[in-house]
Amino acid sequence: MIALKDESEIWWETILEQHYEEALARANSLCEDTVLKSNGCRETSTQTVRRVRFRGRQLPAYRFIYCVVAKTPAAADEVVRHRCHNRLCINPDHLLLGSRADNKHDDWDYMANGIDRRLL
């Protein structure tokens, strides 16, 4: 069976193959412009999720950073999950790719048990 790629995956593959150094420099710049919290979160100074423009696209900074650092093209139906449950955090160590169902299960687990700091 042939796996079809969506527009997001194709865009990411182009970025990772042809513009990786530029993307990595931008990701590092975004990470440097944060406040490091005692729990390891790298928080942006914005009130809402920080967004980044890169090569004709605008997307959440945490999604951009995860995909660049992990060298993983994310499909449109995949989400970048925050293991720390802090949407202002862009620390790549706190980010994980998954499905919307995975993200919902994370929310339920967080409501029931709080954050497991051993995972961070």
pLDDT reported for residue 102: 80
Where in the chain does DSSP place strands (E)?
35-36, 42-43, 51-54, 57-60, 79-82, 95-98
- Binned at pLDDT 50, 70 and 90, residue 109 comes out as confident
The predicted-structure confidence for 52-95, as pLDDT tens digits, reads as follows 999 999 999 999 999 999 999 999 999 999 989 899 999 999 99
Q: What's the pTM value of the predicted model, to 2 decimals?
A: 0.85
- Write down the pLDDT at residue 65: 98
Let me know: does 117 contact 39? Beta carbons within 8 Å.
yes
For residue range 15-65, list pLDDT tens digits in order: 999 999 999 999 999 999 999 999 999 999 999 999 999 999 999 999 999
Query: Which CATH topology does 7-119 take?
Result: Homing Intron 3 (I-Ppo) Encoded Endonuclease; Chain A (3.90.75)
In this structure, the dihedral spanned by the alpha carbons of residues 97, 103, 106 and 111, taken in order and rounded to 10 degrees, is 150
Q: Where are the domains of the chain?
A: 7-119
